[in-house]
Amino acid sequence: MSLPTLLADMTGNVEVADSQRTAYDSILNKTIPGNLQPYLLAGTGVPSAVLTAPKGSIYIDLTAAGANLRMYINTNGTTGWGAVTSA
């Protein structure tokens, strides 16, 4: 599955150096390495076992019918996706 990807800045702090986007964790006072920065993804259907993303990435299913099947969070840094339960 090939989807366009946006890197999500979870801290609100972004540094740009040499045309490279670098997220910065203001709580830990450290730069977040690119391979650990979570993604914000969207697509049709449940994220499958072939969709790999960093831990904490969010996937939104644009065609979901049930309230508890609309958003997923990557739980293991590879292909593990857990559904977010909504109220």
Which two tokens mark 33? 């390495």
pTM to 2 decimals?
0.64
| 19 assigned to some structural domain | yes
Domain-embedded: residue 1: no
45 inside domain: yes
Tokens of 58: 């969010």
The number of folded domains in the chain is: 1
What's the chain's average pLDDT? Answer: 74
Q: Collapse the DSSP code of 16 into the 3-class scheme (helix H, G, I; strand E, B; otherwise coil) and give the result.
A: strand
**Domain, as residue range, for 22:** 6-83
Segment 53-81, tens digit of pLDDT = 888 889 988 887 776 778 999 999 888 99
Which residues face 83 on adjacent strands? 72
Q: What is the mean pLDDT of residues 13-26?
A: 56
Query: Distance between terminal CA atoms of the chain?
Result: 29
Question: Which two tokens mark 39?
Answer: 């993604």
For residues 15 and 25, the model is more confident at 25
